[in-house]
Amino acid sequence: MVYFTSDLHLGHRGIIEMQQRPFSNVEEMNRCLLEHYNSVVQTNDTVYLLGDLCHHLPVPQANEWIRRMKGKKILVRGNHDKIYDEGLFEEICDFKTISCDGIYFALMHYPMLSWPKKNSGSIHLHGHIHAGEEYNRKNREDGIRRYDVGVDANAYYPVSVKQIVEFLKVRRAGKDAGALPVPARCSLWPTSSRR
């Protein structure tokens, strides 16, 4: 499975108040975000981390948190990312394009107004803005194929490619058929317990 997430801000006390995250302290936030992440992502899954994994953490401590995250990790750097241990990632970059299930995705920490193959049905995934769920719903209503994968917009969980496709009701490249078939067990949010 392929997953996306961003803006965990592990170690950042101020983000709790700034984003009104439902945690009493930074230790609870760090623990909960890691538990949510590892309850969804499995060892052989690929995870695109679209930046700002940690903030205000010494690099060795940040590396330890990242080491505990399951999956094959690709980091698309954000503005708060430091020089992590490169061995923790399959790749580190500033921008990336991928194709999953016949759909083209443009990945960057920052939201863009335009992206490669935008007029051909591609989807832009980003973080940075700490939007709530309403941002993604508004983009869908407006026909904009841009999705915030940040934890603040996704109940503090990673989101799968299938969940994004189902949410946006995206069609396969070159197909006239309706939305991609998604197994019934897939829903917008993971079935594991949420805060």
The answer, yes or no, to whether residue 161 has pLDDT greater than 60, is yes
> Cα separation of 167 and 132, whole Å?
15
Residue 170's pLDDT is 66
- Candidate from 60-64, 88-92, 184-188 with smallest mean pLDDT: 184-188
> Cα separation of 93 and 69, whole Å?
19
Nearest to 156 by CA among 62, 16, 60: 16
Residue 171's pLDDT is 53
Residue 64's pLDDT is 96
| Contact residues for 193 (Cβ-Cβ < 8 A; gap 6+) | none
Nearest to 147 by CA among 19, 43, 3, 15: 3
Q: In degrees rounded to 5, what are phi and psi of residue 34?
A: -65, -40
Q: Quote the tokens at residue 195.
A: 């805060």
Residue 193's pLDDT is 40
The answer, yes or no, to whether residue 164 has pLDDT greater than 90, is yes
**What pTM value is reported for the model?**
0.86
H or E element at residue 16: helix 14-18
User: Around Cβ 138, how many Cβ atoms within 10 Å?
Assistant: 11
DSSP line for 137-169: HHHHHTT--EEE-BGGGTTTS-EEHHHHHHHHT
Alpha-carbon distances, residue 54 vs 11, 13, 119, 168, 169 (angstroms): 6, 11, 34, 29, 32
Buried/exposed 59-79: b ≥16 CB within 10 Å, e otherwise: eeebbebbeebbbebbbbbbe
Give, as one character, the DSSP assignment of residue 122.
-
Please state, for a pLDDT cut of 90, what percent of the chain lies above it: 84
pLDDT tens for each residue of 89-144: 999 999 999 999 899 999 999 999 999 999 999 999 999 999 999 999 999 999 99
For residues 26 and 46, is the Cβ–Cβ distance under 8 A?
Answer: no
The answer, yes or no, to whether residue 180 has pLDDT greater than 90, is no
Q: Average per-residue pLDDT in the chain? A: 88
For residues 128 and 111, is the Cβ–Cβ distance under 8 A?
Answer: yes
Please state, for a pLDDT cut of 70, what percent of the chain lies above it: 87
Region at 92 (left for phi over 0; alpha for psi -120 to 50; beta for the rest): beta
Segment 48-77 shows an average pLDDT of: 96
Residue 101's pLDDT is 83
pLDDT tens for each residue of 40-58: 999 999 999 999 999 999 9
Higher pLDDT, 137 or 173: 137
